[in-house]
Protein backbone atom coordinates (compact mmCIF):
# COMPACT_ATOMS: atom_id res chain seq x y z
CA UNK A 1 0.00 0.00 0.00
CA UNK A 2 1.13 3.53 -0.80
CA UNK A 3 -0.25 6.88 0.31
CA UNK A 4 1.20 9.56 -1.90
CA UNK A 5 4.96 9.02 -1.87
CA UNK A 6 4.82 7.00 1.36
CA UNK A 7 5.46 3.32 0.67
CA UNK A 8 4.45 0.97 3.47
CA UNK A 9 6.82 -1.67 2.08
CA UNK A 10 9.75 0.41 3.32
CA UNK A 11 8.92 -0.43 6.94
CA UNK A 12 8.40 3.05 8.39
CA UNK A 13 5.42 4.06 10.51
CA UNK A 14 3.05 6.50 8.81
CA UNK A 15 2.70 9.36 11.32
CA UNK A 16 -0.36 11.57 10.90
CA UNK A 17 -0.84 14.93 12.59
CA UNK A 18 -4.61 15.29 12.97
CA UNK A 19 -5.58 18.96 12.77
CA UNK A 20 -9.27 18.36 13.53
CA UNK A 21 -10.78 21.51 15.10
CA UNK A 22 -7.44 23.04 16.09
CA UNK A 23 -7.53 25.53 13.21
CA UNK A 24 -10.09 27.44 15.31
CA UNK A 25 -11.60 28.64 12.00
CA UNK A 26 -8.51 30.76 11.31
CA UNK A 27 -7.02 30.01 7.88
CA UNK A 28 -3.58 31.34 8.80
CA UNK A 29 -3.53 29.09 11.87
CA UNK A 30 -4.48 26.10 9.71
CA UNK A 31 -1.69 26.95 7.28
CA UNK A 32 0.74 27.30 10.18
CA UNK A 33 -0.30 23.83 11.34
CA UNK A 34 0.67 22.36 7.98
CA UNK A 35 4.11 23.96 8.21
CA UNK A 36 4.72 22.93 11.80
CA UNK A 37 3.61 19.35 11.17
CA UNK A 38 6.08 19.19 8.28
CA UNK A 39 8.89 20.64 10.37
CA UNK A 40 8.16 18.18 13.19
CA UNK A 41 8.73 15.31 10.77
CA UNK A 42 5.16 14.03 10.45
CA UNK A 43 4.45 12.15 7.23
CA UNK A 44 0.99 13.63 6.82
CA UNK A 45 -1.46 16.17 8.15
CA UNK A 46 -5.12 15.26 8.14
CA UNK A 47 -8.19 17.46 7.93
CA UNK A 48 -11.85 16.74 8.63
CA UNK A 49 -14.36 17.50 5.90
CA UNK A 50 -17.83 18.21 7.21
CA UNK A 51 -20.33 20.91 8.07
CA UNK A 52 -22.65 20.95 11.03
CA UNK A 53 -25.54 20.12 8.68
CA UNK A 54 -23.71 17.12 7.21
CA UNK A 55 -23.29 15.56 10.66
CA UNK A 56 -26.51 16.33 12.51
CA UNK A 57 -29.51 18.68 12.73
CA UNK A 58 -30.08 21.70 14.92
CA UNK A 59 -32.27 20.30 17.69
CA UNK A 60 -31.94 21.42 21.30
CA UNK A 61 -32.90 18.19 23.02
CA UNK A 62 -30.93 16.11 25.52
CA UNK A 63 -30.25 13.33 23.00
CA UNK A 64 -28.40 15.87 20.82
CA UNK A 65 -25.92 16.85 23.58
CA UNK A 66 -22.26 16.34 22.60
CA UNK A 67 -21.02 14.61 25.77
CA UNK A 68 -17.39 14.03 26.79
CA UNK A 69 -15.46 17.31 27.07
CA UNK A 70 -18.33 19.10 25.36
CA UNK A 71 -21.20 17.99 27.61
CA UNK A 72 -22.57 21.52 27.88
CA UNK A 73 -22.91 21.86 24.10
CA UNK A 74 -25.33 20.52 21.56
CA UNK A 75 -23.85 18.58 18.64
CA UNK A 76 -24.88 21.13 16.03
CA UNK A 77 -23.29 24.03 17.89
CA UNK A 78 -20.08 22.08 18.50
CA UNK A 79 -19.72 21.13 14.85
CA UNK A 80 -20.63 24.64 13.73
CA UNK A 81 -17.66 26.10 15.61
CA UNK A 82 -15.30 23.18 14.95
CA UNK A 83 -15.71 22.55 11.24
CA UNK A 84 -13.18 23.67 8.65
CA UNK A 85 -14.59 25.81 5.83
CA UNK A 86 -14.74 23.70 2.69
CA UNK A 87 -13.03 26.36 0.57
CA UNK A 88 -9.83 25.97 2.62
CA UNK A 89 -9.14 22.44 1.39
CA UNK A 90 -7.64 23.33 -1.99
CA UNK A 91 -5.23 26.06 -0.80
CA UNK A 92 -4.09 23.97 2.17
CA UNK A 93 -3.51 21.03 -0.14
CA UNK A 94 -1.45 23.22 -2.47
CA UNK A 95 0.61 24.51 0.44
CA UNK A 96 1.23 20.98 1.72
CA UNK A 97 2.44 19.89 -1.73
CA UNK A 98 4.77 22.90 -1.83
CA UNK A 99 6.31 21.86 1.49
CA UNK A 100 6.39 18.13 0.76
CA UNK A 101 3.99 16.78 3.37
CA UNK A 102 1.01 14.56 2.51
CA UNK A 103 -2.40 16.09 3.18
CA UNK A 104 -5.66 14.13 3.20
CA UNK A 105 -8.94 14.19 5.07
CA UNK A 106 -11.78 12.34 6.76
CA UNK A 107 -15.02 12.17 4.78
CA UNK A 108 -18.25 12.30 6.81
CA UNK A 109 -20.86 12.39 4.06
CA UNK A 110 -21.15 11.79 0.31
CA UNK A 111 -20.82 15.44 -0.72
CA UNK A 112 -17.71 15.90 1.42
CA UNK A 113 -16.25 12.72 -0.04
CA UNK A 114 -16.90 13.99 -3.56
CA UNK A 115 -15.14 17.26 -2.75
CA UNK A 116 -12.11 15.30 -1.61
CA UNK A 117 -12.23 13.13 -4.73
CA UNK A 118 -12.26 16.29 -6.89
CA UNK A 119 -9.01 17.29 -5.17
CA UNK A 120 -7.51 13.84 -5.89
CA UNK A 121 -6.71 13.12 -2.24
CA UNK A 122 -4.14 10.31 -1.86
CA UNK A 123 -6.17 8.53 0.86
CA UNK A 124 -9.39 8.82 2.82
CA UNK A 125 -10.25 8.38 6.49
CA UNK A 126 -13.47 7.03 7.95
CA UNK A 127 -13.93 8.20 11.55
CA UNK A 128 -14.98 5.85 14.34
CA UNK A 129 -18.56 7.11 14.52
CA UNK A 130 -18.98 6.61 10.75
CA UNK A 131 -17.88 2.95 10.67
CA UNK A 132 -21.52 1.84 10.60
CA UNK A 133 -22.30 4.08 7.58
CA UNK A 134 -21.81 1.35 4.99
CA UNK A 135 -23.10 3.43 2.03
CA UNK A 136 -20.49 6.10 2.84
CA UNK A 137 -17.73 3.50 3.13
CA UNK A 138 -18.70 1.90 -0.18
CA UNK A 139 -18.80 5.32 -1.86
CA UNK A 140 -15.35 6.31 -0.59
CA UNK A 141 -13.76 2.90 -1.16
CA UNK A 142 -14.93 2.99 -4.79
CA UNK A 143 -12.52 5.88 -5.37
CA UNK A 144 -9.78 3.21 -5.39
CA UNK A 145 -7.48 4.95 -2.92
CA UNK A 146 -6.28 3.69 0.48
CA UNK A 147 -9.00 3.90 3.12
CA UNK A 148 -8.19 4.21 6.84
CA UNK A 149 -11.00 3.18 9.18
CA UNK A 150 -11.04 3.93 12.90
CA UNK A 151 -12.69 1.30 15.07
CA UNK A 152 -13.50 3.29 18.23
CA UNK A 153 -17.15 2.24 18.56
CA UNK A 154 -16.92 -0.93 16.48
CA UNK A 155 -17.51 -4.54 17.46
CA UNK A 156 -16.27 -7.40 15.27
CA UNK A 157 -19.43 -7.41 13.17
CA UNK A 158 -19.05 -3.68 12.44
CA UNK A 159 -15.44 -4.17 11.39
CA UNK A 160 -16.28 -7.17 9.20
CA UNK A 161 -19.06 -5.21 7.45
CA UNK A 162 -16.78 -2.22 6.82
CA UNK A 163 -14.02 -4.37 5.34
CA UNK A 164 -16.52 -6.30 3.23
CA UNK A 165 -17.97 -3.01 1.94
CA UNK A 166 -14.50 -1.97 0.74
CA UNK A 167 -13.75 -5.32 -0.87
CA UNK A 168 -17.17 -5.48 -2.53
CA UNK A 169 -16.22 -2.43 -4.61
CA UNK A 170 -12.76 -3.83 -5.39
CA UNK A 171 -10.71 -1.95 -2.82
CA UNK A 172 -8.33 -3.98 -0.66
CA UNK A 173 -6.15 -1.01 0.35
CA UNK A 174 -7.57 -1.04 3.86
CA UNK A 175 -6.10 0.02 7.20
CA UNK A 176 -7.82 -0.46 10.54
CA UNK A 177 -6.92 1.94 13.33
CA UNK A 178 -7.44 0.83 16.92
CA UNK A 179 -9.18 3.68 18.65
CA UNK A 180 -10.83 4.46 21.96
CA UNK A 181 -13.57 7.02 21.47
CA UNK A 182 -13.05 8.89 24.72
CA UNK A 183 -11.68 12.42 24.85
CA UNK A 184 -9.15 12.13 26.36
CA UNK A 185 -8.89 8.34 26.58
CA UNK A 186 -7.69 6.89 29.91
CA UNK A 187 -4.73 4.48 29.66
CA UNK A 188 -6.71 1.52 31.02
CA UNK A 189 -9.22 1.86 28.17
CA UNK A 190 -6.71 1.36 25.36
CA UNK A 191 -6.36 -2.44 25.07
CA UNK A 192 -3.49 -2.09 22.61
CA UNK A 193 -3.13 -5.87 22.34
CA UNK A 194 -6.06 -5.57 19.91
CA UNK A 195 -3.60 -4.22 17.32
CA UNK A 196 -1.73 -7.47 16.51
CA UNK A 197 -5.00 -9.38 16.90
CA UNK A 198 -6.65 -7.18 14.23
CA UNK A 199 -3.71 -7.69 11.89
CA UNK A 200 -4.00 -11.44 12.17
CA UNK A 201 -7.80 -11.59 12.14
CA UNK A 202 -8.48 -9.26 9.21
CA UNK A 203 -5.27 -9.42 7.17
CA UNK A 204 -4.99 -5.64 6.74
CA UNK A 205 -2.58 -2.87 7.70
CA UNK A 206 -3.16 -1.81 11.31
CA UNK A 207 -2.48 1.28 13.37
CA UNK A 208 -3.63 3.50 16.21
CA UNK A 209 -5.76 6.62 16.31
CA UNK A 210 -4.79 7.91 19.74
CA UNK A 211 -6.74 10.17 22.10
CA UNK A 212 -4.66 9.58 25.23
CA UNK A 213 -2.53 12.26 26.83
CA UNK A 214 1.20 11.81 26.21
CA UNK A 215 3.22 9.66 23.84
CA UNK A 216 3.29 6.25 25.55
CA UNK A 217 0.33 4.70 23.71
CA UNK A 218 1.84 5.51 20.30
CA UNK A 219 5.24 4.10 21.24
CA UNK A 220 3.67 0.93 22.64
CA UNK A 221 1.47 0.57 19.56
CA UNK A 222 4.44 0.60 17.19
CA UNK A 223 6.15 -2.09 19.24
CA UNK A 224 2.96 -4.16 18.83
CA UNK A 225 2.94 -3.80 15.05
CA UNK A 226 1.12 -0.54 14.33
CA UNK A 227 2.11 0.83 10.91
CA UNK A 228 0.02 4.01 11.18
CA UNK A 229 -0.25 6.52 14.02
CA UNK A 230 -2.75 9.34 14.17
CA UNK A 231 -2.47 11.94 16.91
CA UNK A 232 -4.36 15.22 17.35
CA UNK A 233 -2.10 18.22 16.89
CA UNK A 234 -2.47 21.92 17.64
CA UNK A 235 -0.15 24.52 16.11
CA UNK A 236 -0.67 26.86 19.06
CA UNK A 237 -1.76 25.40 22.42
CA UNK A 238 -2.56 28.89 23.73
CA UNK A 239 -5.43 29.19 21.25
CA UNK A 240 -8.59 27.54 22.65
CA UNK A 241 -10.31 25.01 20.40
CA UNK A 242 -12.68 22.06 20.66
CA UNK A 243 -9.83 19.51 20.62
CA UNK A 244 -7.10 21.43 22.39
CA UNK A 245 -7.25 19.35 25.60
CA UNK A 246 -5.96 16.14 24.00
CA UNK A 247 -3.73 17.53 21.24
CA UNK A 248 0.05 17.58 20.97
CA UNK A 249 1.87 20.88 20.62
CA UNK A 250 4.64 21.25 17.99
CA UNK A 251 7.44 20.25 20.37
CA UNK A 252 5.49 17.18 21.52
CA UNK A 253 4.81 16.15 17.92
CA UNK A 254 8.51 16.46 17.14
CA UNK A 255 9.30 14.33 20.21
CA UNK A 256 6.78 11.71 19.08
CA UNK A 257 8.32 11.47 15.62
CA UNK A 258 11.82 11.21 17.11
CA UNK A 259 10.72 8.49 19.55
CA UNK A 260 8.92 6.45 16.89
CA UNK A 261 11.88 6.54 14.52
CA UNK A 262 14.10 5.27 17.35
CA UNK A 263 11.59 2.56 18.26
CA UNK A 264 11.58 1.40 14.63
CA UNK A 265 15.36 1.00 14.80
CA UNK A 266 15.08 -0.89 18.09
CA UNK A 267 12.45 -3.32 16.78
CA UNK A 268 14.70 -4.37 13.90
CA UNK A 269 14.41 -8.06 13.00
CA UNK A 270 14.89 -11.40 14.80
CA UNK A 271 18.59 -11.70 15.60
CA UNK A 272 20.42 -14.59 17.27
CA UNK A 273 23.86 -13.82 15.85
CA UNK A 274 25.30 -12.84 19.20
CA UNK A 275 27.95 -10.22 19.84
CA UNK A 276 31.63 -9.85 20.53
CA UNK A 277 32.65 -12.51 23.06
CA UNK A 278 35.93 -10.85 23.98
CA UNK A 279 34.81 -10.37 27.58
CA UNK A 280 32.79 -13.56 27.91
CA UNK A 281 33.88 -16.21 30.41
CA UNK A 282 36.60 -18.72 29.46
CA UNK A 283 39.03 -21.09 31.21
CA UNK A 284 42.29 -19.63 32.58
CA UNK A 285 45.05 -20.84 34.84
CA UNK A 286 44.82 -18.95 38.12
CA UNK A 287 48.06 -20.48 39.47
CA UNK A 288 51.30 -21.65 37.87
CA UNK A 289 50.74 -25.24 36.66
CA UNK A 290 53.65 -27.64 36.01
CA UNK A 291 53.81 -30.25 33.26
CA UNK A 292 51.96 -33.39 34.39
CA UNK A 293 50.09 -31.59 37.16
CA UNK A 294 46.33 -32.31 37.30
CA UNK A 295 43.88 -29.54 36.63
CA UNK A 296 41.78 -28.69 39.69
CA UNK A 297 39.37 -26.04 40.86
CA UNK A 298 42.32 -24.56 42.72
CA UNK A 299 44.41 -23.86 39.60
CA UNK A 300 41.74 -23.35 36.87
CA UNK A 301 38.69 -21.05 36.81
CA UNK A 302 36.13 -19.66 34.41
CA UNK A 303 36.86 -15.91 34.29
CA UNK A 304 36.83 -12.96 31.92
CA UNK A 305 38.10 -12.29 29.20
CA UNK A 306 37.05 -14.84 26.60
CA UNK A 307 40.43 -15.85 25.19
CA UNK A 308 40.57 -19.36 26.66
CA UNK A 309 38.69 -22.64 26.35
CA UNK A 310 34.89 -22.58 26.51
CA UNK A 311 33.62 -23.11 30.09
CA UNK A 312 31.69 -26.18 28.91
CA UNK A 313 35.02 -28.06 28.98
CA UNK A 314 35.50 -27.61 32.75
CA UNK A 315 34.25 -31.08 33.80
CA UNK A 316 36.47 -32.84 31.27
CA UNK A 317 39.43 -30.63 32.17
CA UNK A 318 39.22 -31.68 35.82
CA UNK A 319 39.93 -35.27 34.73
CA UNK A 320 43.07 -34.29 32.79
CA UNK A 321 46.58 -32.94 33.42
CA UNK A 322 48.79 -30.24 31.89
CA UNK A 323 50.97 -31.26 28.94
CA UNK A 324 53.21 -28.21 29.38
CA UNK A 325 54.17 -25.64 31.99
CA UNK A 326 51.42 -23.03 32.25
CA UNK A 327 51.96 -19.62 33.82
CA UNK A 328 49.29 -18.02 36.01
CA UNK A 329 46.88 -15.89 33.92
CA UNK A 330 47.29 -17.98 30.74
CA UNK A 331 44.17 -18.73 28.66
CA UNK A 332 43.98 -22.50 28.27
CA UNK A 333 43.87 -24.16 24.86
CA UNK A 334 43.63 -27.72 23.56
CA UNK A 335 47.44 -28.10 23.21
CA UNK A 336 47.87 -27.76 27.00
CA UNK A 337 45.42 -30.56 27.93
CA UNK A 338 46.06 -34.32 28.10
CA UNK A 339 42.62 -35.34 26.78
CA UNK A 340 40.76 -34.56 23.58
CA UNK A 341 38.16 -31.80 23.98
CA UNK A 342 35.11 -31.86 21.75
The number of angstroms, rounded, from the C-alpha of 85 to the middle of its chain's C-alpha atoms is 30
Nearest to 237 by CA among 248, 226, 227: 248
pLDDT category at 221 given cuts 50, 70, 90 is very high
Nearest to 233 by CA among 7, 54, 32: 32
Does residue 283 have a pLDDT over 80? Answer: yes
Who's near 162: CB < 8 A, 6+ residues apart? 126, 131, 134, 137, 149, 154
pLDDT at residue 268 in the model: 87
Domain range summary for the chain, segments of one domain joined by +? 12-267, 275-342
Who's near 126: CB < 8 A, 6+ residues apart? 106, 107, 133, 136, 137, 140, 147, 148, 149, 150, 162
CB atoms within 10 A of CB 204: 19
- Say whether 275-342 and 12-267 share the same fold: no
Rounded Cα distance between 48 and 233, Å, is: 13
pLDDT tens, residue by residue, 190-202: 999 999 999 999 9
User: Class assignment of domain 12-267?
Assistant: alpha beta
CA distances from 98 to 5, 13, 94, 145 (A): 14, 23, 6, 22
CB atoms within 10 A of CB 233: 26
**The whole model's pTM is what?**
0.89
pLDDT at residue 5 in the model: 95
Polymer length in residues for the chain? 342
Q: What is the CATH number of domain 275-342?
A: 3.90.1210.10
Query: Average pLDDT in the 314-330 region?
Result: 97
Query: Average pLDDT in the 230-256 region?
Result: 92
- Whether residue 189 contacts residue 159, with contact meaning beta carbons closer than 8 Å, is answered with no
Does residue 243 have a pLDDT over 90? Answer: no
**Strand (E) or helix (H) holding 253:** helix 250-267
Amino acid sequence: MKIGDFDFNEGKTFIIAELSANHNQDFNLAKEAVRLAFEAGADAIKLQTYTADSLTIDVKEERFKAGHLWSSEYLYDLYQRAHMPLEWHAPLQAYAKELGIILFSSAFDLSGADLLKSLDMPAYKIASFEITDIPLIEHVAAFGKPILISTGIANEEDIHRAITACRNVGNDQIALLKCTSSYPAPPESMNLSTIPDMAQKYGVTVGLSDHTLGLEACIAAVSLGARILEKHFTPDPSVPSADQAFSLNPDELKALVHSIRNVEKMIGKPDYLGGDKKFARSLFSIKDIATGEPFTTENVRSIRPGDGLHPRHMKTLLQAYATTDIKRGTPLDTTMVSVELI
